[in-house]
Structure 1
């Protein structure tokens, strides 16, 4: 807890970038009103935290979009969808990651999730400070009064 405020824990499990984006938006909104947040990335959502590729594209740029967005013709890929968000005045993925970092979010990566998808922590971006742990660690942070949302 920070002061008398309990943490809100957001479990990001899906690798669909629109779901990761919304989880980051929820976290940024909570942080903006001084609600402490821990973002717990596991399984395919961890792929959104990969380091940029040799051409400088962020790891999230290769994540899939939810099939509903693709079927609706909103965008065909993550980069196009993110560019559309920014063009229409919404926060992009990178904007939200930076906002969460700057507002004090705790970024946790699930050790079991890393193993499940064969990803090493060293493959993650280096501009964020990651805590590695599992569900027990997350529940300890949340304590008796924290909230938990699974996205």
Structure 2
């Protein structure tokens, strides 16, 4: 199947949540998925992600929609490749120990190499 690359650069809960919705959905139907986060999008990859405290998480739970925690668990179980942009990390003042264990640190060349001729989405 065609690889899917998702570039998460947007700040906040909504782009982070939907990047996981798209990524886990694609992986569930057998597509290889690489989720690449940079700058403000790196909040999703932080070990202490502030996104879990966002009020939308409780609202999603009330409405029976999977939140970031459930989608993150699914993403790791489905074997998504999670890459934190090293330049974006420097821009945000983050270091590798600040990130979740499932996340690798690499650059845009690694991301583009993983996706190759596949589809790219940016959120």
Q: TM-score range by the shorter chain?
A: over 0.9
TM-score, normalisation: structure 2: 0.93
Residue of structure 2 equivalent to 1:99: 74
Residue of structure 2 equivalent to 1:60: 51
Query: What are the within-5 Å matches in structure 2 for residues 110-149 of structure 1?
Result: 110-126=85-101, 128=102, 130-143=103-116, 145-149=117-121
Moved over 2 A (4+): 58-62
User: Which structure 2 segments of 5+ residues have no match?
Assistant: none
Distance in 2, matches of 1:41 and 1:25, equals: 15
TM-score, normalisation: structure 1: 0.76
Distance in 1, matches of 2:80 and 2:87, equals: 21
User: Which structure 1 segments of 5+ residues have no match?
Assistant: 53-57, 63-77
Distance in 2, matches of 1:125 and 1:135, equals: 19
Residue 45 of structure 2 contacts residue 84 of structure 2 at CA under 8 Å; is this kept in 1?
Answer: no
Higher helix share: 2
Query: What are the within-5 Å matches in structure 2 for residues 43-82 of structure 1?
Result: 43-52=39-48, 58-61=49-52, 78=54, 80-82=55-57
Distance in 2, matches of 1:110 and 1:132, equals: 6
Distance in 2, matches of 1:48 and 1:105, equals: 14
Could you say what the CA RMSD is over the residues aligned between the two structures, in angstroms? 1.3
Distance in 2, matches of 1:139 and 1:42, equals: 14
Cα distance, 1:48 vs. partner? 2.4
For 1:45-70, what per-residue CA distance to the aligned partner results, in whole angstroms no more than 9, with x for missing partners? 11222223xxxxx43235xxxxxxxx
